[in-house]
Protein backbone atom coordinates (compact mmCIF):
# COMPACT_ATOMS: atom_id res chain seq x y z
CA UNK A 1 0.00 0.00 0.00
CA UNK A 2 2.74 2.41 0.90
CA UNK A 3 5.00 1.75 -2.04
CA UNK A 4 7.01 4.83 -2.87
CA UNK A 5 6.52 6.37 0.53
CA UNK A 6 9.55 8.17 1.90
CA UNK A 7 7.99 8.83 5.25
CA UNK A 8 8.91 7.15 8.47
CA UNK A 9 6.35 6.30 11.12
CA UNK A 10 7.65 9.19 13.18
CA UNK A 11 7.10 11.70 10.39
CA UNK A 12 3.62 10.38 9.91
CA UNK A 13 3.07 10.78 13.65
CA UNK A 14 4.18 14.42 13.49
CA UNK A 15 1.82 14.99 10.60
CA UNK A 16 -1.08 13.71 12.61
CA UNK A 17 -0.04 15.79 15.61
CA UNK A 18 -0.15 18.90 13.45
CA UNK A 19 -3.61 17.93 12.21
CA UNK A 20 -4.77 17.42 15.80
CA UNK A 21 -3.21 20.75 16.69
CA UNK A 22 -5.06 22.63 13.96
CA UNK A 23 -8.27 20.79 14.72
CA UNK A 24 -7.82 21.91 18.32
CA UNK A 25 -8.32 18.63 20.15
CA UNK A 26 -5.04 18.56 22.07
CA UNK A 27 -4.71 19.43 25.74
CA UNK A 28 -3.12 22.74 26.69
CA UNK A 29 0.34 21.31 27.34
CA UNK A 30 0.31 19.16 24.21
CA UNK A 31 -0.97 22.09 22.19
CA UNK A 32 1.89 24.25 23.45
CA UNK A 33 4.41 21.49 22.71
CA UNK A 34 3.20 21.05 19.14
CA UNK A 35 3.21 24.82 18.66
CA UNK A 36 6.92 24.81 19.52
CA UNK A 37 7.55 21.91 17.14
CA UNK A 38 5.84 23.82 14.34
CA UNK A 39 7.76 26.98 15.10
CA UNK A 40 11.00 25.05 14.58
CA UNK A 41 10.12 23.33 11.33
CA UNK A 42 9.22 24.82 8.01
CA UNK A 43 7.86 21.43 6.92
CA UNK A 44 5.46 21.39 9.83
CA UNK A 45 4.53 25.00 9.10
CA UNK A 46 3.63 23.97 5.58
CA UNK A 47 1.57 21.16 7.02
CA UNK A 48 -0.14 23.55 9.42
CA UNK A 49 -1.13 25.76 6.48
CA UNK A 50 -2.36 22.70 4.61
CA UNK A 51 -4.69 21.71 7.43
CA UNK A 52 -5.85 25.25 8.08
CA UNK A 53 -6.73 25.68 4.43
CA UNK A 54 -8.42 22.31 4.02
CA UNK A 55 -10.35 22.42 7.29
CA UNK A 56 -11.48 25.98 6.65
CA UNK A 57 -13.85 24.53 4.06
CA UNK A 58 -15.86 23.43 7.10
CA UNK A 59 -16.38 27.09 8.04
CA UNK A 60 -19.68 26.98 6.16
CA UNK A 61 -20.94 25.02 9.15
CA UNK A 62 -20.76 28.14 11.34
CA UNK A 63 -24.14 29.77 11.08
CA UNK A 64 -24.05 33.57 11.00
CA UNK A 65 -25.66 35.27 13.99
CA UNK A 66 -25.65 39.08 14.06
CA UNK A 67 -23.65 40.29 17.06
CA UNK A 68 -25.37 42.40 19.73
CA UNK A 69 -25.25 46.04 18.73
CA UNK A 70 -23.25 46.99 21.83
CA UNK A 71 -20.35 44.84 20.69
CA UNK A 72 -19.01 47.35 18.19
CA UNK A 73 -18.97 50.11 20.72
CA UNK A 74 -17.11 47.85 23.12
CA UNK A 75 -14.48 47.18 20.47
CA UNK A 76 -13.99 50.88 19.73
CA UNK A 77 -13.70 51.63 23.42
CA UNK A 78 -11.14 48.89 23.94
CA UNK A 79 -9.06 49.95 20.99
CA UNK A 80 -9.26 53.67 20.90
CA UNK A 81 -10.29 54.68 24.42
CA UNK A 82 -12.18 57.59 23.05
CA UNK A 83 -15.70 58.60 23.51
CA UNK A 84 -17.89 56.80 21.08
CA UNK A 85 -21.27 57.52 22.63
CA UNK A 86 -24.26 57.88 20.42
CA UNK A 87 -22.25 59.13 17.48
CA UNK A 88 -20.69 55.71 16.97
CA UNK A 89 -23.73 54.30 15.24
CA UNK A 90 -24.19 57.16 12.85
CA UNK A 91 -20.56 57.48 11.86
CA UNK A 92 -20.43 53.76 11.40
CA UNK A 93 -23.13 53.84 8.79
CA UNK A 94 -21.55 56.87 7.19
CA UNK A 95 -18.40 54.92 6.72
CA UNK A 96 -20.31 52.00 5.26
CA UNK A 97 -21.87 54.27 2.72
CA UNK A 98 -18.47 55.60 1.97
CA UNK A 99 -17.05 52.16 1.29
CA UNK A 100 -19.96 51.14 -0.84
CA UNK A 101 -19.42 54.25 -2.89
CA UNK A 102 -15.78 53.34 -3.18
CA UNK A 103 -16.58 49.87 -4.42
CA UNK A 104 -18.80 51.27 -7.13
CA UNK A 105 -16.18 53.79 -8.11
CA UNK A 106 -13.37 51.31 -8.43
CA UNK A 107 -15.40 49.21 -10.81
CA UNK A 108 -15.43 52.08 -13.23
CA UNK A 109 -11.80 53.14 -13.21
CA UNK A 110 -9.95 53.47 -16.44
CA UNK A 111 -6.95 51.44 -17.39
CA UNK A 112 -4.35 53.18 -15.30
CA UNK A 113 -6.45 55.45 -13.14
CA UNK A 114 -7.45 54.74 -9.62
CA UNK A 115 -9.50 56.61 -7.11
CA UNK A 116 -7.75 58.43 -4.33
CA UNK A 117 -10.17 59.41 -1.68
CA UNK A 118 -9.99 61.66 1.24
CA UNK A 119 -11.45 60.35 4.38
CA UNK A 120 -11.69 61.67 7.85
CA UNK A 121 -11.72 59.36 10.84
CA UNK A 122 -15.14 60.57 11.84
CA UNK A 123 -15.73 57.74 14.22
CA UNK A 124 -13.14 59.02 16.61
CA UNK A 125 -11.97 62.57 16.70
CA UNK A 126 -14.35 65.38 15.98
CA UNK A 127 -11.66 67.49 14.31
CA UNK A 128 -8.77 65.39 13.07
CA UNK A 129 -5.54 67.31 12.95
CA UNK A 130 -4.34 65.70 9.76
CA UNK A 131 -6.01 64.54 6.60
CA UNK A 132 -6.01 60.88 5.71
CA UNK A 133 -5.91 59.94 2.06
CA UNK A 134 -6.64 56.41 1.03
CA UNK A 135 -5.70 55.02 -2.33
CA UNK A 136 -6.26 51.82 -4.18
CA UNK A 137 -3.52 51.30 -6.73
CA UNK A 138 -4.48 48.86 -9.38
CA UNK A 139 -4.38 48.71 -13.13
CA UNK A 140 -6.24 46.59 -15.60
CA UNK A 141 -4.01 44.02 -17.22
CA UNK A 142 -1.61 44.16 -14.30
CA UNK A 143 -1.57 41.81 -11.36
CA UNK A 144 0.23 44.40 -9.26
CA UNK A 145 -1.85 46.21 -6.70
CA UNK A 146 -1.14 48.45 -3.75
CA UNK A 147 -3.13 50.23 -1.14
CA UNK A 148 -1.88 53.54 0.14
CA UNK A 149 -2.77 55.75 3.03
CA UNK A 150 -1.36 59.23 3.42
CA UNK A 151 -1.35 60.77 6.85
CA UNK A 152 -1.28 64.53 6.57
CA UNK A 153 -0.24 64.89 10.17
CA UNK A 154 3.05 63.02 9.81
CA UNK A 155 3.50 63.48 6.09
CA UNK A 156 3.90 59.74 5.73
CA UNK A 157 2.57 57.64 2.90
CA UNK A 158 2.14 54.02 3.89
CA UNK A 159 1.83 51.39 1.22
CA UNK A 160 0.74 47.79 1.41
CA UNK A 161 1.57 45.62 -1.57
CA UNK A 162 -1.36 43.29 -2.06
CA UNK A 163 -0.35 41.21 -4.97
CA UNK A 164 1.94 41.02 -7.94
CA UNK A 165 5.32 39.62 -8.80
CA UNK A 166 8.52 41.57 -9.27
CA UNK A 167 9.37 42.15 -12.92
CA UNK A 168 12.78 40.79 -13.94
CA UNK A 169 15.43 43.46 -14.35
CA UNK A 170 12.95 46.20 -13.50
CA UNK A 171 11.91 48.15 -10.42
CA UNK A 172 8.70 49.86 -9.43
CA UNK A 173 9.08 53.55 -8.62
CA UNK A 174 6.64 55.67 -6.71
CA UNK A 175 5.93 59.28 -7.67
CA UNK A 176 3.99 62.20 -6.32
CA UNK A 177 2.70 64.73 -8.82
CA UNK A 178 1.40 68.11 -7.77
CA UNK A 179 -0.90 69.96 -10.08
CA UNK A 180 1.00 71.55 -12.95
CA UNK A 181 4.38 70.29 -11.76
CA UNK A 182 6.69 67.47 -12.87
CA UNK A 183 6.58 64.19 -10.98
CA UNK A 184 8.78 63.93 -7.90
CA UNK A 185 10.27 60.52 -7.20
CA UNK A 186 9.55 58.99 -3.82
CA UNK A 187 11.91 56.14 -4.55
CA UNK A 188 11.90 52.56 -5.69
CA UNK A 189 9.35 50.41 -3.89
CA UNK A 190 9.16 46.65 -3.33
CA UNK A 191 6.30 44.50 -4.59
CA UNK A 192 3.95 42.83 -2.12
CA UNK A 193 5.42 44.39 0.98
CA UNK A 194 4.53 47.09 3.43
CA UNK A 195 6.51 50.24 3.55
CA UNK A 196 6.36 53.80 4.77
CA UNK A 197 7.61 56.75 2.80
CA UNK A 198 7.92 60.14 4.39
CA UNK A 199 7.28 62.83 1.83
CA UNK A 200 9.80 65.69 1.56
CA UNK A 201 8.56 68.67 3.57
CA UNK A 202 7.85 70.79 0.51
CA UNK A 203 5.76 68.01 -1.00
CA UNK A 204 3.86 67.48 2.24
CA UNK A 205 2.75 71.08 2.11
CA UNK A 206 1.36 70.61 -1.40
CA UNK A 207 -0.58 67.38 -0.95
CA UNK A 208 -4.26 67.99 -1.42
CA UNK A 209 -6.71 68.49 -4.23
CA UNK A 210 -5.05 67.76 -7.53
CA UNK A 211 -2.30 65.58 -6.08
CA UNK A 212 -1.62 62.38 -7.98
CA UNK A 213 0.32 59.37 -6.81
CA UNK A 214 1.70 57.08 -9.47
CA UNK A 215 3.74 53.93 -9.83
CA UNK A 216 5.87 53.31 -12.91
CA UNK A 217 8.02 50.48 -14.15
CA UNK A 218 11.64 51.60 -14.33
CA UNK A 219 15.13 50.20 -14.91
CA UNK A 220 16.75 48.62 -11.86
CA UNK A 221 17.54 51.26 -9.29
CA UNK A 222 14.90 53.64 -10.57
CA UNK A 223 14.62 56.21 -13.32
CA UNK A 224 18.18 57.30 -14.09
CA UNK A 225 17.58 61.03 -14.48
CA UNK A 226 14.91 61.36 -11.83
CA UNK A 227 12.34 61.52 -14.61
CA UNK A 228 9.90 58.67 -15.14
CA UNK A 229 10.72 56.65 -18.23
CA UNK A 230 8.59 53.53 -17.92
CA UNK A 231 4.92 52.73 -18.25
CA UNK A 232 2.57 53.84 -15.50
CA UNK A 233 1.17 50.80 -13.74
CA UNK A 234 -1.10 52.80 -11.47
CA UNK A 235 -1.94 56.43 -10.93
CA UNK A 236 -4.75 58.57 -9.67
CA UNK A 237 -5.75 61.90 -8.24
CA UNK A 238 -7.11 63.01 -4.93
CA UNK A 239 -10.83 63.31 -4.57
CA UNK A 240 -12.29 64.95 -1.53
CA UNK A 241 -15.57 63.66 -0.25
CA UNK B 1 -24.92 45.65 -2.79
CA UNK B 2 -23.31 42.36 -1.93
CA UNK B 3 -19.91 42.49 -0.34
CA UNK B 4 -17.46 40.38 -2.27
CA UNK B 5 -14.31 38.65 -1.13
CA UNK B 6 -12.46 41.44 -2.90
CA UNK B 7 -14.26 44.04 -0.81
CA UNK B 8 -13.22 42.19 2.32
CA UNK B 9 -9.65 42.06 1.04
CA UNK B 10 -9.81 45.83 0.54
CA UNK B 11 -11.09 46.36 4.06
CA UNK B 12 -8.35 44.11 5.43
CA UNK B 13 -5.63 45.95 3.55
CA UNK B 14 -6.87 49.32 4.72
CA UNK B 15 -7.30 48.07 8.26
CA UNK B 16 -3.65 46.99 8.19
CA UNK B 17 -2.80 50.60 7.40
CA UNK B 18 -4.72 51.85 10.39
CA UNK B 19 -7.84 52.98 8.54
CA UNK B 20 -10.65 52.90 11.06
CA UNK B 21 -13.47 53.35 8.58
CA UNK B 22 -12.29 50.24 6.76
CA UNK B 23 -12.11 48.42 10.08
CA UNK B 24 -15.71 49.43 10.76
CA UNK B 25 -16.73 48.11 7.35
CA UNK B 26 -14.85 44.89 7.99
CA UNK B 27 -16.69 44.50 11.26
CA UNK B 28 -20.04 45.25 9.68
CA UNK B 29 -19.51 42.58 7.07
CA UNK B 30 -18.07 39.84 9.25
CA UNK B 31 -19.42 40.23 12.78
CA UNK B 32 -22.32 37.84 12.21
CA UNK B 33 -20.09 35.06 10.94
CA UNK B 34 -17.58 35.49 13.75
CA UNK B 35 -20.28 35.79 16.38
CA UNK B 36 -21.65 32.54 14.97
CA UNK B 37 -18.23 31.00 15.60
CA UNK B 38 -17.87 32.26 19.18
CA UNK B 39 -21.46 31.34 20.03
CA UNK B 40 -21.16 27.83 18.63
CA UNK B 41 -17.90 27.09 20.43
CA UNK B 42 -18.39 28.92 23.72
CA UNK B 43 -22.14 28.20 23.90
CA UNK B 44 -22.84 31.22 26.07
CA UNK B 45 -24.07 34.52 24.66
CA UNK B 46 -22.28 36.76 27.14
CA UNK B 47 -18.99 34.94 26.74
CA UNK B 48 -19.43 34.85 22.99
CA UNK B 49 -19.86 38.61 22.84
CA UNK B 50 -16.88 39.21 25.09
CA UNK B 51 -14.80 36.92 22.89
CA UNK B 52 -16.02 38.69 19.75
CA UNK B 53 -14.74 42.00 21.09
CA UNK B 54 -11.38 40.49 22.00
CA UNK B 55 -11.17 38.92 18.55
CA UNK B 56 -11.75 42.20 16.72
CA UNK B 57 -9.14 43.87 18.91
CA UNK B 58 -6.74 41.17 17.68
CA UNK B 59 -7.88 41.69 14.10
CA UNK B 60 -7.09 45.39 14.32
CA UNK B 61 -3.70 44.68 15.85
CA UNK B 62 -2.74 41.86 13.50
CA UNK B 63 -4.33 42.89 10.23
CA UNK B 64 -0.88 43.49 8.76
CA UNK B 65 -0.09 39.79 9.18
CA UNK B 66 -2.88 38.79 6.84
CA UNK B 67 -1.49 37.16 3.71
CA UNK B 68 -3.91 37.15 0.79
CA UNK B 69 -1.98 34.36 -0.91
CA UNK B 70 -2.48 32.01 2.06
CA UNK B 71 -6.12 32.47 3.03
CA UNK B 72 -9.23 34.35 2.06
CA UNK B 73 -10.09 37.19 4.44
CA UNK B 74 -13.06 35.36 5.92
CA UNK B 75 -11.07 32.15 6.44
CA UNK B 76 -8.37 34.14 8.19
CA UNK B 77 -10.91 35.86 10.42
CA UNK B 78 -12.74 32.64 11.27
CA UNK B 79 -9.40 31.00 12.12
CA UNK B 80 -8.58 33.84 14.51
CA UNK B 81 -12.01 33.59 16.10
CA UNK B 82 -11.90 29.83 16.37
CA UNK B 83 -8.40 29.76 17.85
CA UNK B 84 -9.30 32.47 20.31
CA UNK B 85 -12.25 30.44 21.58
CA UNK B 86 -10.26 27.22 21.68
CA UNK B 87 -7.57 28.94 23.74
CA UNK B 88 -10.23 29.95 26.22
CA UNK B 89 -11.61 26.42 26.42
CA UNK B 90 -8.17 24.85 26.75
CA UNK B 91 -7.28 27.18 29.59
CA UNK B 92 -10.17 25.91 31.67
CA UNK B 93 -9.89 22.21 30.90
CA UNK B 94 -7.88 19.89 33.09
CA UNK B 95 -4.59 19.47 31.31
CA UNK B 96 -3.82 15.82 32.05
CA UNK B 97 -5.79 13.95 29.47
CA UNK B 98 -4.67 10.50 30.61
CA UNK B 99 -3.94 9.37 27.12
CA UNK B 100 -1.15 7.19 25.96
CA UNK B 101 0.89 9.75 24.13
CA UNK B 102 2.94 7.15 22.30
CA UNK B 103 -0.19 5.83 20.67
CA UNK B 104 0.79 4.14 17.48
CA UNK B 105 -0.26 5.62 14.25
CA UNK B 106 -1.75 2.88 12.13
CA UNK B 107 0.28 2.27 9.01
CA UNK B 108 -2.23 0.62 6.77
CA UNK B 109 -2.91 3.45 4.38
CA UNK B 110 -1.00 4.85 1.44
CA UNK B 111 1.22 7.69 2.50
CA UNK B 112 1.63 10.42 -0.09
CA UNK B 113 4.92 12.15 -0.43
CA UNK B 114 5.33 15.68 0.78
CA UNK B 115 5.18 17.00 -2.76
CA UNK B 116 1.65 15.75 -3.07
CA UNK B 117 0.57 18.41 -0.57
CA UNK B 118 1.07 21.09 -3.15
CA UNK B 119 0.21 19.22 -6.28
CA UNK B 120 -2.60 17.49 -8.02
CA UNK B 121 -6.31 17.56 -7.79
CA UNK B 122 -7.59 18.63 -4.40
CA UNK B 123 -10.77 17.20 -3.09
CA UNK B 124 -13.06 19.28 -1.02
CA UNK B 125 -13.06 18.18 2.55
CA UNK B 126 -16.76 17.35 2.44
CA UNK B 127 -16.18 14.73 -0.22
CA UNK B 128 -13.36 13.26 1.80
CA UNK B 129 -15.38 13.23 5.00
CA UNK B 130 -18.09 11.38 3.11
CA UNK B 131 -15.65 8.56 2.60
CA UNK B 132 -15.27 8.06 6.35
CA UNK B 133 -17.73 6.17 8.50
CA UNK B 134 -20.55 8.46 9.55
CA UNK B 135 -19.70 8.78 13.23
CA UNK B 136 -16.02 9.28 12.50
CA UNK B 137 -16.74 12.06 10.05
CA UNK B 138 -19.11 13.53 12.60
CA UNK B 139 -16.37 13.48 15.24
CA UNK B 140 -14.07 15.49 12.95
CA UNK B 141 -16.79 18.02 12.18
CA UNK B 142 -17.74 18.28 15.81
CA UNK B 143 -14.14 18.85 16.88
CA UNK B 144 -13.83 21.63 14.31
CA UNK B 145 -17.19 23.34 14.67
CA UNK B 146 -17.92 22.84 18.37
CA UNK B 147 -14.34 22.93 19.60
CA UNK B 148 -14.72 19.66 21.47
CA UNK B 149 -11.50 18.14 22.77
CA UNK B 150 -10.92 14.40 23.10
CA UNK B 151 -12.68 13.92 26.43
CA UNK B 152 -15.83 15.70 25.27
CA UNK B 153 -15.82 13.81 21.98
CA UNK B 154 -15.37 10.52 23.83
CA UNK B 155 -18.28 11.33 26.13
CA UNK B 156 -20.51 12.34 23.26
CA UNK B 157 -19.78 9.31 21.16
CA UNK B 158 -19.76 6.95 24.14
CA UNK B 159 -16.31 5.52 23.58
CA UNK B 160 -13.14 5.50 25.72
CA UNK B 161 -10.88 8.48 25.16
CA UNK B 162 -8.08 6.41 23.65
CA UNK B 163 -10.52 4.90 21.20
CA UNK B 164 -11.63 8.38 20.22
CA UNK B 165 -8.05 9.44 19.69
CA UNK B 166 -7.40 6.40 17.52
CA UNK B 167 -10.56 7.17 15.52
CA UNK B 168 -9.64 10.74 14.99
CA UNK B 169 -6.02 10.11 14.13
CA UNK B 170 -6.98 7.47 11.59
CA UNK B 171 -9.64 9.74 10.19
CA UNK B 172 -7.20 12.63 9.86
CA UNK B 173 -4.72 10.44 8.05
CA UNK B 174 -7.36 9.20 5.64
CA UNK B 175 -8.51 12.76 5.12
CA UNK B 176 -5.00 13.88 4.32
CA UNK B 177 -4.58 11.11 1.79
CA UNK B 178 -7.93 11.91 0.24
CA UNK B 179 -7.27 15.63 0.15
CA UNK B 180 -3.91 15.21 -1.51
CA UNK B 181 -4.77 12.35 -3.84
Interior/surface letters B19-53, b for 16+ CB within 10 angstroms, e for the rest: bbbbbbbbbbbbbebbbbbbbbbbeeeeebbbbbb
Q: What is the pLDDT of residue A44?
A: 95
The answer regarding whether domain B5-92 maps to CATH 3.10.20.30 reads no
Where is average pLDDT lowest: A109-118, A199-208, B26-35, B162-171? A109-118
Interface confidence, given as ipTM, is: 0.86
B62 in contact with chain A, both atoms CB, cutoff 8 A: no
Domain ranges across chain B: 5-92, 114-180
Any alpha helices (H) in chain B, and if so which ranges? Answer: 5-16, 20-42, 45-62, 73-92, 125-130, 134-146, 150-157, 161-180
Q: Is B51 helix (H, G, I), strand (E, B) or coil?
A: helix
B-chain CB neighbours of A102 within 8 Å are: 10
Q: What is the pLDDT of residues B57-83, one digit of tens each?
A: 999 999 988 888 888 999 999 999 999
pTM over 0.80: no
Q: B interface mutation test: which of A52, A59, A89 has the most B CBs within 10 A?
A: A59
Q: What is the pLDDT of residues A29-83, one digit of tens each?
A: 999 999 999 999 999 999 999 999 999 999 999 999 999 999 999 999 899 874 4
> What's the CA gap between B174 and B181, in Å, rounded?
10
B100 in contact with chain A, both atoms CB, cutoff 8 A: no
Contacts 24+ apart (CB under 8 A), B68-74: B68/A162, B68/A163, B68/B9, B68/B12, B69/A163, B70/A49, B70/A53, B71/A52, B71/A53, B71/A56, B72/B5, B72/B8, B72/B9, B73/B5, B73/B8, B73/B9, B73/B11, B73/B12, B73/B30, B74/A59, B74/B5, B74/B8, B74/B30, B74/B33
The radius of gyration computed from the CA coordinates of chain B, to the nearest angstrom, equals 19
Pick the CATH number of B114-180 from 2.60.300.12, 1.20.1070.10, 3.40.50.2020, 1.10.10.10: 1.10.10.10
Q: Name, of A190-194, A211-215, B60-64, the range with top average pLDDT.
A: B60-64
Q: What is the pLDDT of residue B75?
A: 95
Interchain contact, A16 vs B172, CB within 8 Å? yes
> What's the CA gap between B72 and B140, in Å, rounded?
22
> Between β-strands A232-239 and A170-177, what pairing exists: parallel, antiparallel or unpaired?
unpaired
Q: What is the pLDDT of residues B94-152, one digit of tens each?
A: 775 555 555 555 544 444 443 344 444 456 899 999 999 999 999 999 999 999 999 99
B157 in contact with chain A, both atoms CB, cutoff 8 A: no
Q: What is the pLDDT of residues A88-130, one digit of tens each?
A: 333 433 343 433 433 333 332 322 223 333 333 333 333 333 5
Amino acid sequence: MSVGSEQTGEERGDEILVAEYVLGVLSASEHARVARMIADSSELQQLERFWQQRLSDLDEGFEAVPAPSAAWQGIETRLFQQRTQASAGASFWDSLGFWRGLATGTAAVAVVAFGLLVLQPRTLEPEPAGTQLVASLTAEGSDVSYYALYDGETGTLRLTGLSGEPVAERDFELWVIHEGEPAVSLGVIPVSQRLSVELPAEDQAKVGDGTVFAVTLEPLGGAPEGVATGPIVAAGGVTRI
Amino acid sequence: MATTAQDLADFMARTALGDRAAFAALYQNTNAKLFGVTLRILKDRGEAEEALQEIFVKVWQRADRYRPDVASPISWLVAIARNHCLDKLRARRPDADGMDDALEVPDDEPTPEQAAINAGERNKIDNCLDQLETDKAEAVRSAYLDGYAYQELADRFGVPINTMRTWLRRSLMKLKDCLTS
